[in-house]
Structure 1
Amino acid sequence: MVGILSSKEEKLMINSLNSNLNYDYNTSNFKQDKNIDFKINKHGVAVITGEGALPYRGKKFEYNPKIFGLDESISKKDMQEFNNFMKSNALKDPNKIEKSPLKDFNPAYTKWDPTTEKMMLGFFVSYSKMFHLGYDIIKKADEFYKEFDALISKDLSLNEFKTKYIDFKQRHDEFVKEYEMAMGDKMLLSSDDEIITQQSEKPFKAIQG
């Protein structure tokens, strides 16, 4: 059974999870490099170009370029409105859930990003397994992760994406309630086990007559 983690153990765990998950999310940093660029080819497919992206050059961008702001046919105004809408409807962060032992461990994200959302969903899967929250919780977390990955890969307009995303968010918010309850129960059981263990380890003192 998983006990309550110390702050040092929490940090080591988070760093480990981050290093394992980060590989999938490097695409969000491409636009920050002046030597890396995206081009929409004649078939409407975003491909990675630029001298700074040699390992990726010519490869198809795996997600919907519209929601990443890579489609030049979408105005800056429409993109800004989309980003503001998404930011105000961001998914729940597992590191901000009240009953989580990892609450407030990581800083809050200040902007909406599809790959950050995917990473948060990945944390739900990892934490569900790590804290042994049960088969149903783990299965649902994994299904939401896969569904979101498929959603951000679909060729949808911004409005089509928002409609499907809101439906996804509403269902995921309900799941988070289940997750939080399971996490709270797990932490309560862990606390009780710790108290019992501490009491059993106390040396026996004979009653003085």
Structure 2
Amino acid sequence: YAKGAESFVAWETGDRYFYATHATIDIAKTVGNAYKVLTQLVPQTSNSSLSQDELANIPYAFILDKNLNVSKTFTKDEYEKTTLTQDRINVTFNTFTDAGFDKISVDNIFSNSNGDVRLNKFAYINKGGSVDKGGVLMALLNSQLYGATGPLLEGDTKLFGKLTFDKNISDAERKDFENFMDTNKMKSAFISNDNSWTMSEERLSMKLYIKRSEAIGNSELAQQASDFDKEYNEMINSNMSLDEFKNKYLDLKKRHDEFVKALETEEKAKGINYSLSGGLVLNIPQTQNTQETKPF
């Protein structure tokens, strides 16, 4: 169903999905990867669709090697009893809900409750309740957070994709990049004992600096904060190489650290500080030789 494929590509390359890994998607190669995996999981049948019983008997989860070969499968019970392993275990379909993991059924494999793309299940479900193999294929591809969507995608990767599923980047390159970012991390708006760099923290930190600038009523600093946020998001959503990102990041860090210094100076002049408790604190002027603090 072409509309569903278009929606999938738009979601995976857009900025609405926090965990988007790609700047562009080669949909033919991506679907081809999903098909290679699906044929290792589904019962061998010449039928163009799967019955509800056949669907329910598909392995609940699986492990992939780097060549997309299924090396191990799990039933629902086995999956729920697994502990942390070195290999990522992929849930076959998006069956997770607020109540936990559901059984595989025609009613939930097209779910988008975990931020997945909303696929038109009625394009794939037949009157008798069977599901076209094309629908099962797209449901597997659209398994997102708990599934194998990341390893199946082909195309130009964003920064998050380079740090997770990009097959052209080695573990050594990723480690070198992470060490660089830990050493050169921009000053965060959050107070933490952990100084390691994470992209998610930095994205949220940018947003918080905007709010802090607006809170003191400084339109110039608020505009700078907004410009830095835009520049940073353009960087992480581009397909630039890790080395190119590092060079641009150092330039951004220099300018951003100067902005933070100016913001903190003005906050201090207004009696505003961040305490070790992690909250914004207002310093109340001294009265009767006592100094009070009230949480903001």
TM-score range, shorter chain: 0.5 to 0.7
Code of the residue aligned with 1:51 in structure 2: it is F
Q: Does residue 70 in structure 1 map to residue 153 in structure 2?
A: no
Higher relative contact order (CA 8 A, sep 6+): 1
Q: Pick from 266, 269, 275: which aligns with 1:182?
A: 266
Q: Deviations over 1:56-85 (max 9, x none)?
A: 254999943444322121000001001110
CA distance in 1, matches of 2:223, 2:29: 33
Q: Does residue 51 in structure 1 map to residue 96 in structure 2?
A: no
Percent of residue pairs bearing the same amino acid type: 25
Q: Secondary structure at the match of 2:238?
A: coil
Q: Does residue 113 in structure 1 map to residue 113 in structure 2?
A: no
Structure 2 length normalisation: TM-score?
0.43
The answer for the alignment partner of 2:248 in structure 1 is 164
Displacement over 6 Å in runs of 4+:
43-47, 59-62
Code of the residue aligned with 2:207 in structure 1: it is G
Cα gap change, 1:145 to 1:110, in 2 (>3 Å): same
The correspondence of residues 1-209 of structure 1 with structure 2, limited to 5 A, is 27=19, 42=26, 51-52=93-94, 54-55=111-112, 56-57=116-117, 58=142, 63-95=158-190, 106-130=191-215, 132-187=216-271, 191=283, 194-195=284-285
Structure 1 length normalisation: TM-score?
0.58
The answer (yes or no) to whether the contact 1:25–1:115 under 8 Å persists in 2 is: no
Larger C-alpha radius of gyration, 1 or 2? 2
Number of corresponding residues:
151
Q: Secondary structure at the match of 1:27?
A: coil
Please identify which structure carries the higher strand content.
2
CA distance in 2, matches of 1:41, 1:26: 17
CA distance in 1, matches of 2:235, 2:204: 14
Q: Deviations over 1:80-136 (max 9, x none)?
A: 0011101111110123xxxxxxxxxx4334532222111111111112222x14111
Gap runs ≥5 in structure 2: 1-15, 32-89, 97-110, 118-141, 151-156, 273-281, 289-296
CA distance in 2, matches of 1:70, 1:122: 27
Cα gap change, 1:180 to 1:120, in 2 (>3 Å): same
What is the root-mean-square deviation in Å for CA atoms of aligned residues?
A: 3.8
Cα gap change, 1:178 to 1:159, in 2 (>3 Å): same
Q: Deviations over 1:35-69 (max 9, x none)?
A: xx99x95369999x962485225499994344432
The answer for the alignment partner of 2:102 in structure 1 is none
CA distance in 2, matches of 1:73, 1:112: 22
CA distance in 2, matches of 1:180, 1:74: 39
The answer (yes or no) to whether the contact 2:187–2:257 under 8 Å persists in 1 is: yes
Alpha-carbon offset, residue 146 of structure 1 = 1.2
Please identify which structure carries the higher helix content.
1
The answer (yes or no) to whether the contact 1:68–1:114 under 8 Å persists in 2 is: no
CA distance in 1, matches of 2:267, 2:165: 38
